[in-house]
């Protein structure tokens, strides 16, 4: 038996949380360095997985231990191209978030422990191949996040935390009913094993209802319009590191859920529901961008930009083309990096000035040139400037959706324009012009720690923007698997270049 690297990946953050919990009270100053070091261990494990990962289809590093035969439940984990990047993204963002939390004073121990437990839950979600196990991680990860928002958040933190928890829990409840129904009704013997359930022969009606039950949970998480209203509150009230992980990873859980479960387990329902979900995605793109433009609060602006960006991801997924799916996955990663960075920047300026209102700033480029440069860089990445990562994802999504849903793609493309509007207009109001508020005169520029927090993100953003091939290559086999499965089980043909671009209405049904 090979070394159970995935189990280690999940348990390392838990060990970190325990280590943080037992640090003696008088050595309080050790907490942050210790948590940071412990969070590097899962990153190392993720790095090992990335290194050893072979670009082939199917799951790798799988571990399977049967837990309780009568229920058909097992500890079954594994990684494929889709989970690989999300696992690496999670393991990468957590140390950065911890490093960005140096100014947390209130109960730092609990904060760091919650952070590490959250990481364990998030990693567990992306590697579970047993539906009950997946649900356990899915739901458990809510608890540390709830505390991060509710205890260490802003003024309306309790409201935001409860809203976040209840929205997610309602979706999860329906998913749990769906999981149980699927596990019990698919075969004679109950099984929660994802790879076995792929062989289930479900009727169209059953697929429809189960798709709905799963989608209820994932759509809240992504979030898909009109289920997004928890997101601005949660993002704004969460502490900086919480926002980074919320935007960077938690939203991707919904994306991942759609890709992993809805598309493969309920292919017929997926094909049927493409128009609905693509429409909601496009509404989300435009709506999120328009609302972002008018936000007076910078953090809220970034939060609404997430709604818009995630709309692109969903559109890409439900375009059901190779380019669309690849774009959806890579855009998830991109959004995690750029929006994470933007939230970090917002947090840095908030710590200095204790306001997030755009109107309170102006001319900051003069007093904080490095900060201004960093913000502009991240804003460009978020807009999708060629050469930075956002471009790759949006380009693939738009190409992919143009193949199957041209009308939707055309409308979605305006989202890119609107992104430029809200980002650059915000930049203009905050950084250019004269420093007309005397309080802004004495702001200090980024210190070494803050630069170190942002540097790795910037490096990856450029790397993925210039040379995305390694990432795309690793996603490719998993995407092909999904599309092959849809083609085999339904009469849908995946459009591609060269085969004559089909028109939306003519897709085989």
Partner 1 sequence: MDFLAIAPEVALGVGALGVLLVELVWSPRPRWWAVPAAASLAATLLFLTLQWRDVAGAAGDPTLNFSGMLAVDGFAVLGGLLAVLVAGLGLAAAWPLVESLERRGAEFVALVLIAAAGAHLMAAAADLVFVFLSLEVMSISLYVMAGITRRQSADESALKYFLLGSFASAVFLYGVALFFAATGTTSMYEGAAFLSVNFLLEPGILLLGIGLMVVGLGFKVSAAPFHMWAPDVYEGAPGGAVAFIAAVAKLGGFAAMARILAVPVGAYVDDWAPVIGVLAAASMVVGTVLAIAQTDLKRMLAYSSVAHAGYMLAALVAGIDGVDALWFYLATYLFQVIGAFAAASVLSGATGGSTALTDLAGLGSRSPLLAGSIMALMLAMGGIPLTAGFVGKVAVFQAAIDADYLWLVIVGVVSATAGLFFYLRVIVVMYMQAPVRAEAPGTALAPLEPPLPVRFVLLVTVAVTIAFGVFPWALLRAAADALPL
User: Which positions lie near partner 1, rule CB under 8 A?
Assistant: 67-68, 70-71, 132, 135-137, 139-140, 142-143, 146-147, 150-151, 157-158, 161-162, 165-166, 169-170, 172-174, 176-177, 180-181, 184-185, 190
Indicate the pairing of strand 60-68 with strand 73-79: antiparallel
Cβ 459 vs Cβ 306: under 8 Å: no
Distance of CA 264 to the CA centre of its chain: 20
Integer distance in angstroms from the first to the last C-alpha of the chain? 46
Question: In degrees to the nearest 10, what's the CA dihedral of 209, 212, 213, 219?
Answer: 180
Residue 502 vs residues 11, 400, 483, 496: alpha-carbon distances, Å: 48, 12, 17, 9
Token readout for 500 is: 């004559």
420 burial via Cβ count (<10 Å: 0-12, 13-18, 19+): middle
Q: DSSP label at 69?
A: G
Cα–Cα distance for residue pair 388/334, rounded to 1 Å: 9
Cis peptide before 223 (omega within 30 of 0): yes
Q: How far is the CB of 373 from partner 1 (least distance, A)?
A: 38
**Secondary structure element (H or E) that encloses residue 61, with its range:** strand 60-68
Instruction: Work out how close the CB of 144 gets to partner 1 at its nearest, in angstroms, rounded to a whole number.
Output: 11
Of 93, 43, 115, 41, the C-alpha closest to 453 is 93
Which ranges of 58-127 does DSSP label H, i.e. alpha helix? 81-99, 108-127
- Print the SS3 string covering 457-485: HHHHHHHHHHCCHHHHHHHHHHHHHHHHH
Helix, strand, coil % over all residues of the chain, rounded to 5: 75, 5, 20
Residues 175, 180, 186: CA angle, nearest 5 degrees: 115
Question: Judged by CB, which is closer to partner 1: 113, or 403?
Answer: 113
> Residue 232: CB partners within 8 Å, gap ≥ 6?
300, 303, 304
Cβ nearer to partner 1, comparing 177 with 200 = 177
Mapping DSSP to helix (H, G, I), strand (E, B) and coil, where does residue 450 land? helix
Question: How many whole angstroms separate alpha carbon 451 and alpha carbon 498?
Answer: 46
């Amino acid at each position: 038996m090979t070394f159970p690297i995935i189990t280690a990946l999940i348990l390392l953050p838990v060990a970190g949380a325990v280590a943080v919990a037992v640090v003696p009270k008088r050595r309080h100053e050790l907490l942050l360095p210790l948590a940071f070091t412990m969070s590097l261990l899962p990153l190392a494990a993720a790095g090992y997985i990335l290194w050893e990962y072979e670009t082939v289809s199917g799951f790798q590093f799988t571990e399977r231990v049967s837990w309780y035969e009568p229920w058909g439940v097992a500890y079954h984990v594994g990684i494929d191209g889709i989970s690989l990047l999300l696992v690496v993204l999670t393991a990468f963002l957590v140390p950065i978030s911890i490093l960005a939390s140096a100014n947390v004073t209130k109960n730092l121990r609990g904060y760091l422990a919650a952070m590490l437990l959250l990481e364990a839950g998030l990693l567990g979600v992306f590697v579970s191949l047993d539906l009950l196990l997946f649900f356990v991680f899915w739901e458990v990860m809510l608890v540390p996040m709830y505390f991060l928002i509710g205890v260490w958040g802003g003024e309306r933190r309790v409201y935001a935390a409860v809203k976040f928890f209840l929205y997610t829990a309602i979706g999860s409840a329906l998913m749990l009913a769906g999981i149980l129904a699927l596990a019990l009704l698919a075969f004679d013997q109950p099984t929660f094993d994802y790879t076995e359930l792929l062989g289930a022969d479900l009727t169209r009606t059953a697929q429809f209802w189960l798709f709905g039950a799963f989608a209820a949970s994932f759509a809240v998480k992504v979030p898909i319009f009109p289920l997004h209203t928890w997101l601005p509150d949660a993002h704004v009230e969460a502490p900086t590191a919480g926002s980074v992980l919320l935007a960077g990873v938690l939203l991707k859980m919904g994306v991942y859920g759609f890709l992993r479960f809805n598309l493969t387990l309920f292919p017929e329902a997926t094909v049927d529901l493409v128009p609905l979900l693509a429409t909601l995605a496009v509404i989300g793109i435009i709506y999120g961008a328009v609302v972002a433009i008018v936000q007076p609060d910078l953090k809220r602006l970034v939060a609404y930009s997430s709604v818009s960006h995630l709309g692109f991801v969903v559109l890409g997924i439900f375009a059901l083309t190779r380019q669309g799916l690849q774009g959806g996955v890579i855009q998830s990663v991109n959004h995690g990096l750029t929006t994470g960075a933007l939230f970090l920047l917002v947090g840095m300026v908030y710590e200095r000035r204790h306001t997030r209102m755009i109107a309170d700033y102006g001319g900051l480029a003069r007093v904080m040139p490095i900060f201004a440069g960093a913000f502009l860089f991240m804003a460009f990445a978020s807009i999708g400037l060629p050469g930075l990562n956002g471009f790759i994802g949006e380009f693939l999504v738009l190409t992919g959706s143009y193949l199957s849903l041209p009308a939707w793609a055309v409308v979605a493309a305006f989202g890119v324009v609107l992104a430029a509007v809200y980002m650059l207009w915000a930049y203009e109001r905050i950084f250019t012009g004269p420093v007309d508020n005397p309080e802004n005169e004495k702001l200090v520029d980024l210190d070494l720690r803050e630069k170190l927090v942002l540097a790795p993100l910037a490096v990856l953003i450029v790397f993925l923007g210039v040379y995305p091939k390694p990432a795309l290559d690793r996603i490719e086999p998993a995407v092909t698997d999904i599309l092959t499965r849809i083609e085999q089980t339904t009469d849908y043909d995946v459009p591609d270049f060269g085969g004559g671009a089909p028109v939306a209405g003519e897709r085989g049904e």
